Structure 1
Amino acid sequence: MSDDQTAEPGPEADLEEIRGLMRAMPGPDKAAADAARSRETELTKPAGALGRLETIAEWAAAWQGRHPAKVDRPRVAVFAANHGVAARGVSAYPADVTAQMVANFQRGGAAVNQLCAVHDAELRVYEMALDHPTLDFTLEPAMGEADVATALAYGMMAVEEGVDLLCLGEMGIGNSTSAAALSCALFGGAAADWTGPGTGVQGDALTAKIKVVEAGVALHAQAAADPFDLLRRLGGLELAAIAGAVIAARMGRVPVILDGFACTAAAAILQAIDETALDHCLIAHRSAEPGHGRLMQALGKEPLLDLGMRLGEGSGAAVALGVVKSAIACHAGMATFAEAAVSGPAA
């Protein structure tokens, strides 16, 4: 596992260029997928005996564009930013915790550090202007167009040459509020359907959080020109960066594992633009945050795991990395019936 790294966003980007990238996203590699499907039938096991591990191996081959798929250099990318709406008391923790947790990542003291070590994954932490939180979206758009475009482009930096599987996560006090508002604006329903305890708010504090989500959606949902504009209005720098990383991974043929609620909400922006935009993504786990199950249903996605986790910081994605590595190892390493001199199924 490599040391954590932090950085600041670079030069301004053009949102129209990013829209253009989405129009040029490649599809799956059919030849690689067919090769994986063919090999699966020859491995020394009953058909379907490894369940979803079999389809994961095919998915990885299709999106890496090679058979068999390999996971030699997985990366866990955690984007950290602050939200102006946190001043509304939507979290059980102060906004200072974002920077404190980034320092904890750097010292190796967080859960995700341990999980990356176990699964031999690089951890990169991308610190995004923590001293300059987004604006309060109950009053005005959270970001300007240049801000959201730059954050999207910054997220693309996580997909470097040689990275062959990307796990995405976030850190940002207030981002479950932003995720709830984005989800509600994208898919409808009441704010209460999407808004959960996040870091642990309850009672009157949770009621106030729901009202914050209601106010943001009421102000911005109809005013947004497109999903990227919705991200600008209700999102955060780290959520925009996650969306950018998902786009860059698609362009670079790197499969993606998304973490929990906030991470999935960021990616959902892309599926609202193109219904195939998340085909190269798996969702790591079903977060205990109640809106996550509803969001996955809207996206037509099933999580790999359901462990009651709600930590964020890419922790669920890092756990799920082990599942994906297991699927690829079984597919590539198992003997075929012919190689093992084992009789295949009766005709």
Structure 2
Amino acid sequence: MNKIEETVAGIRPLNHEVMERVKDHIDQLTKPTGSLGRIEEVAIQLAGITEKERPTVDSPAIIVAAADHGITAEGVSAYPQELTKLMIENFLRDGAAINVFGHEIGASVSVVDVGVNSEMTHPNLLSKKVRSGTANFLEEDAMTHSEAREAIEVGLEVAEALIHSGHRLLIIGEMGIGNTTASSALLATFLDENVEDLVGRGTGLDEQARVNKINTIETAIARRKPDRNDPIDVVAKVGGLEIAALAGVLLQATRLRIPVLVDGFISSTAAVLAYHLCPTVKDYFILSHQSVEQGHRAVFRCLEKKPLLDLDLRLGEGTGAALAYPLVKASTSMVANMATFADLGIKAKA
């Protein structure tokens, strides 16, 4: 077996016995049953993921996967491809929103170059370049089958290293001009959705540019003919290197029973890719927020998940997931520290 197949083979379902015990404990806490709503649900999910009745999410690690997209040649983005490199330099200078929010929650930030179309060197940059950006998938496959696998394996390796170094929760984000186009193409293929229903204005397109983006994606899918029954084929033909890498992060974290907070539209598309590689992973996902990208709702329907926040975000980088982290942390504190009715000398609830 190759690395991806080995990882998938090691993935197991949530531990429902532990979840039941934690649910029983939560129902005995000093509050009306179910009154903390989604916070209780998250706590129970964390117990199933970690197989611990008192799960912890200490030392969060943010992974920002970065890559460029050849499809930007078709005018599908309001910003030039060169911005990918500039934003990575901003991450490395500690000057981006994800750096600010990462400091706020005590998280490390790892920037991973999976396929930036520039040569970059920095002591804090994880250089894992598979190729210098994808090809323009309107004209040819975005990447080869082997490159798609290699990009997923980058995510497997990065996640494993961070988890083995002691991080108990991962946050995934991305950077790559043009990646909403790749995400929309992937979702249209996997979910059999109309492209028009998935495509928003990205980082600032006007309506004419949005129509061009829709037409470009529809034409590209018709030309590339990705096989929705072969997830690697889909990401190779119309996907992105950073999306593939984040799918690898999700698969590895699931195998190692470490929770992952999934960020916005692009990161959620990576979750859909991971789900098509291994359906079991769906139960492990914690979707942090609903972005303004209209295609994001299709992801929630596919994964049968509700996001924790709705703050009209459309940035990416992992920012929405970082903002949601305190809610996840609070759920673990509730289980570990809140008093029960028995602690107050009150007869346990039936």
TM-score for the superposition, normalised by structure 1: 0.91
Q: Deviations over 1:128-153 (max 9, x none)?
A: 23121100111111011221111111
SS at match of 1:38: helix
Q: Provide the identity percentage.
A: 36
1:170 aligns to what SS in structure 2? strand
Q: Which SS does the other structure have where 2:53 is aligned? A: coil
Alpha-carbon offset, residue 299 of structure 1? 2.1
Q: 1:233 to 1:214 in 2, by over 3 A?
A: same
1:166 corresponds to which letter in structure 2? L
Task: Answer yes or no: is 1:89 the counterpart of 2:75.
Answer: yes
Match of 2:53 among 67, 72, 79: 67
Structure 1 equivalent of residue 93 of structure 2: 107
Alignment partners' CA distance in 2, 1:317 and 1:95: 25
Which residue is 1:323 aligned to? 327
2:268 paired with 1:264:
yes
Equivalent position of 1:194 in the other structure: 198
Counterpart contact for 1:86–1:173, Cα < 8 Å: yes
Deviates more, 1:305-314 or 1:141-150: 141-150
**1:295 Cα deviation after fit:** 2.2
CA contact (8 A) 1:138 1:215 kept: yes
Q: CA deviation at 1:101?
A: 0.7
**Matched letter for residue 327 of structure 1:** S
How far apart are residue 273 of structure 1 and its match?
Answer: 3.8
- The 10-residue stretch of structure 1 (240-249 or 112-121) with the greater mean CA deviation from structure 2: 112-121
Q: Quote how far apart the aligned CAs of 1:29 are.
A: 2.1
How far apart are residue 302 of structure 1 and its match? 0.8
Distance 1:300 1:334 in 2: 30
Instruction: Please report how far the alpha carbon of residue 259 of structure 1 lies from its aligned counterpart in structure 2 after TM superposition.
Output: 0.6
Partner of 2:159: 158
| Aligned residue runs from structure 1 range 42-61, under 5 A | 42-61=28-47
Q: Distance in 2 between matches of 1:37 and 1:225?
A: 37
Partner residue of 1:288? 292
Aligned-pair CA distance for 1:220? 2.8
Q: Residue in 2 aligned with 1:340?
A: 344
Residue 138 (structure 2) aligns with: 138
Q: 2 CA distance for matches of 1:207 and 1:39?
A: 52
Matched to 2:142, the amino acid is A
Tell me the residue number matched to 2:18. 32
Report the residue type matching 2:205 in the other structure: V
Structure 2 residue aligned with 1:5:
none
Instruction: Give the CA deviation at 1:170.
Output: 0.7
The aligned amino acid for 2:184 is A
* Amino acid across the alignment from 1:75: A
Residue 129 of structure 2 aligns with which residue?
none
Do the aligned residues in 1 keep the contact of 2:235 with 2:244 (CA within 8 Å)?
yes
Where does residue 149 of structure 1 map in the other structure? Answer: 149
> Take 2:178 and 2:244, find their aligned partners in 1: how far apart are those partners?
15
Are 2:114 and 1:128 aligned? yes
Contact kept in structure 2, 1:195 and 1:213, CA below 8 Å: no
- TM-superposed CA distance for 1:288, in Å, is 0.2
CA contact (8 A) 2:171 2:262 kept: yes
User: 1:227-242 maps to which residues of 2 (within 5 A)?
Assistant: 227-242=231-246
Does 2:283 correspond to 1:297?
no
Give the deviation of 1:343 after TM superposition.
5.6
Question: Aligned with 2:112: secondary structure?
Answer: strand
Please say if 1:226 is aligned against 2:226.
no
C-alpha deviation, 1:313, in angstroms: 0.4
1:69 CA drift (Å): 0.4
Secondary structure (helix, strand or coil) at the match of 2:308 reads strand
Q: Distance in 2 between matches of 1:256 and 1:17?
A: 20
Which letter does structure 2 place at the counterpart of 1:198? Answer: G
What's the TM-score, normalizing by structure 2?
A: 0.91
> How many residue pairs get matched?
332
* 1:166-181 paired onto structure 2 within 5 Å: 166-181=170-185
SS of equivalent residue, structure 1 residue 278: helix
| Structure 2 residue 273 is matched with structure 1 residue 276 | no
Q: After superposition, where does 1:205-220 map in structure 2 within 5 Å?
A: 205-220=209-224
Q: Distance in 2 between matches of 1:217 and 1:300?
A: 25
Shift in Å, 1:267: 1.5
Confirm whether residue 306 of structure 1 aligns to residue 310 of structure 2.
yes
* Whole-angstrom CA distance in 2 between matches of 1:51 and 1:125: 34
Q: Residue 295 of structure 2 aligns to a residue in which SS?
A: helix
The question of whether the paired residues in 2 share the 8 Å contact of 1:82 and 1:98 is answered with yes
* Aligned-residue offset at 1:74: 1.1
| C-alpha RMSD of the superposition | 1.6
User: Contact between 1:64 and 1:164, CA under 8 Å: does it hold in 2?
Assistant: no
Render the CA deviation track for 1:78-125: whole Å, top value 9, x for unaligned: 101000101111111111111111111111111111111111112111
Cross-structure match for 1:76:
62
C-alpha distance 224-291 of structure 1, shift in aligned 2 (>3 A): closer
- Contact 1:80-1:238 within 8 A present in 2 as well: yes
Whether contact under 8 Å (2:115, 2:134) holds in the other structure is no
Match of 1:6 in 2: none
Residue 187 of structure 1 and its aligned partner are, at CA, apart by 1.2
1:340 and 1:178 map into 2 onto residues whose CA distance is 55
2-side partners of 1:246 and 1:231: how far apart?
A: 16
Give unpaired runs (5+ residues) of structure 1: 1-13
Aligned partners of 1:116 and 1:222: how far apart in 2?
37
Would you say the 8 A contact 1:224–1:233 is kept in 2? no
